[in-house]
Amino acid sequence: MKPFLPILLSLCLVPCLAFADDELKKISEAMPSVPSVKPKKSHNILVYSHPSGFKHSSIPTGVKALREMARKTQAFTADFTLKTDAFTKDGLSKYDMIIFNNCTHVQKAFSESFQREAILGFIKSGKSFAGFHSASDGGVPQWPEYTDMIGGCFAGHPWNAGGTWPFFLADEKHPVNQGFEGREFQFSDEIYQYKGYDRSKLRVLVGLDSLKTDKKGNSKTNDYPVSWVRSYGKGRIFYSNFGHNKATWWTPFMLQHFLDGIQWALGDLKGPSDSIPQSN
């Protein structure tokens, strides 16, 4: 039977490898080829992707996309980790930004006060943070300061990943929205409602047009923010709810939005972060 083993192995491996290459190929083709603005200095980012709660299958896709974004646009360099070791005051000192890529229940991963102080102190001191999708699934009640920092905590997803939902631009002219070219759009991804969300603390850039859907969420004013920016101490934060579906990570206008959000948080792309009232 032994001669069959290599054949069996190759039968299993070839489709897997082919798929992995295909995913990277789609990401690479969809990725902007230049940064939106040339970085004034080099930026080093730490990307953390370990889920302490629900594990999204799009986590490796997000890693590939952020790695390809760094390689192709040269807007930043990035280290990728599933471990929490570097999240100390000293460990973070060589970085300009933290990205939480679809990690869940960060209150479990960062349960010690020195870790929490290191992360929040890092941002407050003038550094940057970006969170994608379930980076907001965590915080309250065990780590309310995290929810206060990121801007809201996941409280269910009435709009499921298989649906296609309508979105509007809450700030058409913001540079982080340039990838949408001023248009409302439909997109398929899993969309959250939040607890601990306070519009007055952040600037909503993209919102869900929930009244055009047949689902109801928890907001009395139908305020369902999807992407936003905010200031936090001297630092800057970009968060986007998009990123549950793998295909989000190879959609050109989404990758442009993500790149612009990261470059805005890094301070290279200029745009306001003060709150704007709900308009619809």
Calpha distance 239→227 (Å, rounded): 6
Q: Which residues bind Zn ion (CB under 5 A)?
A: 190, 244
Residue 23 or 190 with smaller CB distance to Zn ion: 190
Nearest distance from residue 163's CB to Zn ion, in Å? 13
At how many degrees (to 10) do helices 4-30 and 252-265 cross? 70
Residue 75 φ/ψ, nearest 5 degrees: -75, -20
Residue 62 or 261 with smaller CB distance to Zn ion: 62
Residue 39 or 163 with smaller CB distance to Zn ion: 163
Task: With beta carbons less than 8 A apart as the criterion, state whether 271 and 264 touch.
Answer: yes
Nearest distance from residue 1's CB to Zn ion, in Å? 43
Task: With beta carbons less than 8 A apart as the criterion, state whether 65 and 249 touch.
Answer: yes
Amino acid code (one letter) for 132: F
Q: Omega of the bond prior to 272 within 30 degrees of 0, cis?
A: no
Residue nearest to Zn ion (CB): 244
Nearest distance from residue 62's CB to Zn ion, in Å? 12
Calpha distance 181→197 (Å, rounded): 27
Residue 55 or 212 with smaller CB distance to Zn ion: 55
Nearest distance from residue 56's CB to Zn ion, in Å? 5
Residue 105 or 244 with smaller CB distance to Zn ion: 244
Residue 203 or 246 with smaller CB distance to Zn ion: 246
List the one residue out of 198, 197, 227 whose CA is nearest residue 131.
227
Nearest distance from residue 249's CB to Zn ion, in Å? 13
Nearest distance from residue 280's CB to Zn ion, in Å? 25
At how many degrees (to 10) do helices 59-73 and 252-265 cross? 70
Number of H helices, E strands in the chain: 7, 11
